[in-house]
Structure 1
Amino acid sequence: MHRPVLPSPKALAWQGHTPTLLVVAHGSRDPRHAATVHALVRRVRALRPGLRVETGFLDFNAPSVPRVFEGLAADGVRDVVALPLLLTRAFHAKADIPAVLREASARLPQLRIRQADVLGPSPLLIDALERRLEGAGLTAGDKRSTGVVLASAGSSDPEAIAVIAEIAREWRRTGWCAVRPAFASASLPRTEDAVRQLRAEGVRRVAVAPYVIAPGFLPDRIARGARAAGADVLADVLGPAPELGRLLLARYDTAAAEAPVTAALTA
């Protein structure tokens, strides 16, 4: 007689009728990257203790996204929201992650998989950037005399570049003397060029705000550019800022309220 596969006690305790959240990070050879991702995931768990939250990496780090899906299926989990830990909708969000989810859906048809939206743009990210600048020593009273370089990793995707430029324009309206976008790769200007441009325009104080989540090769390039151009303030990466934790849950909630997209992923 064929026995039905029942959810394990672990799955019943964690999941109930709530989809599991799988945070999908890019991964890096730099150990600081994974450590920061795990710190952010711990913050999300603390914000919502009843939610099962797992982490998977596309490259370099373990566990891989396919391995996490296998473990969830083995636990009896049936509903998963896969959330890209990305600030812009570029190649990884449009191609890499959907391909991984399609493969997992085809191999593990018992899983219902939703893909959440990327994190940016969001007012919560602006709040996190402000938090990091405050942590680097700036105050609200410094805004009128301070120009900010919004330094992102960069992308060859025109949509992603346009989003960064729009974020800079919107952020400028909160009171900063100026906000200019810059990119560590694929696009121009570089961080050091944006800092020097602000100086040439007579901006008295220049701060660099990395629009990246975790340390690594490109954030280090941003920091080198800021120092080389003599920026007055260099903020930390966004990391496990409380605003990011709340934003992850907001993206999760939106995706969890939608119908499962397994059929679309396997089409």
Structure 2
Amino acid sequence: MFGNPALVAVAHGSRDPRSAATVAALVDEVRRERPGLDVRLSFLDLSAPRLPEVLDAVAADGHRSAVVVPLLLGHAFHASVDVPGAVTQAAARLPGLDITISPVLGGHTGLATAALRRLAAVAGPLNDRGLGVVLAAIGSSHPPANAAVGDVVAGWTRRFGWHGGSAAFATTTPSVPEAVAALRARGAERVVVGQWILAPGLLPDRIVRDATAAAAPVAGPLGPDPDVARAILARYDSRAVPAFAHDLTA
């Protein structure tokens, strides 16, 4: 028997093997941050192992509880439908396993720390008032998820005093070229593109191509960053507290 719940990280999945490899490296970083914690990687689609298989294995290995942590940067369809649906089915199949779902990673300060580190690597000092920053994400059919990306870059713009900041998306508007052109038209002396994306893949490649075509330096995705790993653990802890309390009183 295990005292603490297993941490089951679930990513979207991709046909691009770089995506799964990057997420696996991130999960390895989580294990380094919390030695002894049973941390497992799963995917919703396109990559293996899938979330139902991993939850089955967690139960078979003797765990009584698990916390599913969605490796998602916004709360949209995957967070509100796909993950809860898979967990509900697993809970019906595994009555001896108590499964809870944590909030998505979006909103944790570790993501901003990692993204700004990536941005500074291509932009240089961030306290440049002539700077325009495009924060690029995949994009969602759920408008609040897209608006949240705009809120992130707006907060950075106020913090650093940039000339301007804008969200852009690979699958909806504004596109990266549109956002870059708009910032230049408003007088930004130079424009750089950051990625509000966890791992490389086919759609992130589109962002890189568009930024390069617009002659705007582009930062890398968040990747296996220690601050992102800490964000994952913080989301886990927010749902695992009852189990930890139980251990302390056992």
State if a TM-score over 0.5 links the two structures.
Answer: yes
Pair 1:215-2:197 in alignment: no
- The separation in 2 between residues aligned to 1:72 and 1:88, in whole angstroms, is 26
Whether the aligned pair in 1 keeps the contact of 2:109 and 2:231 (CA below 8 Å) is no
Which residue of structure 2 lines up, in the alignment, with residue 227 of structure 1?
212
CA distance in 2, matches of 1:105, 1:74: 13
In structure 2, C-alpha distance between the alignment counterparts of 1:137 and 1:229, rounded to whole Å = 15
Q: How far apart in 2 are the matches of 1:51 and 1:145?
A: 46
Partner of 2:140: 155
Q: Which amino acid aligns with 1:213?
A: L
Equivalent residue, structure 1, for 2:237: 253
Residues in 2 aligned to 1:247 and 1:154: alpha-carbon distance in whole angstroms: 22
**Is 1:91 equivalent to 2:77 in the alignment?**
yes
Query: Quick one: which of 187, 192, 208 aligns to 1:202?
Result: 187
**Higher radius of gyration, 1 or 2:** 1
- Unaligned 5+ residue runs, structure 1? 1-6, 8-14, 260-267
Q: 2:225 aligns with which of 233, 241, 246?
A: 241
Corresponding residue for residue 248 of structure 2: none
Unaligned runs of 5+ in 2: 244-250
Q: Counterparts of 2:233 and 2:140 in 1: how far apart (Å)? A: 26
> 1:245 and 1:162, CA in 2 relative to 1: closer, same or farther beyond 3 A?
same
SS in 1 for 2:159: coil
Structure 1 ranges of 4+ moved more than 3 A: none
The aligned counterpart of 1:59 is 45
Measured on the aligned residues, the alpha-carbon RMSD in Å equals 1.3
**What residue is the counterpart of 1:11 in the other structure?**
none
> In the aligned structure 2, how far is the partner of 1:28 from the partner of 1:236?
17
User: How far has the Cα of 1:122 moved from its partner?
Assistant: 2.5
| Distance in 2 between residues matched to 1:85 and 1:256, nearest whole Å | 17
- 2:104 paired residue number: 118
Deviation at 1:224, TM superposition (A): 1.2
Q: Which of the residues 167, 176, 198 maps onto 1:181?
A: 167
Q: What is the total number of aligned residue pairs between the two structures?
A: 242
Shift of 1:136: 2.3
| Structure 1 residue 191: Cα displacement | 0.7
* Aligned partner (choices 12, 15, 24) of residue 38 of structure 1: 24
**Equivalent in the alignment of 1:169:** 154
Letter in 1 for 2:47: N
2:177 alignment partner in structure 1 = 192
Q: Distance in 2 between matches of 1:207 and 1:173?
A: 16
Q: Show CA shifts across 1:17-75 (max 9, x none).
A: 21110000111110000000000001000001021100011111111111111111111
Identity of aligned residues (%): 48
1:133 and 2:119 correspond: yes
> TM-score, length-normalised on structure 1?
0.87
Deviation per CA, 1:134-183: give whole Å up to 9, x if none: 22251234x32211101011001022122112112211111132210111
Counterpart position of 1:103: 89
Structure 1 residues 117-126 or 47-56, which shifts more?
A: 117-126
The match for 2:67 among 76, 81, 85 is 81
> Structure 1 residues 137 and 168 mapped into 2: Cα distance closer, same or farther (>3 Å)?
closer
Structure 1 CA distance for aligned equivalents of residues 175 and 107 of structure 2: 21
> Which residue type is aligned with residue 173 of structure 1?
R
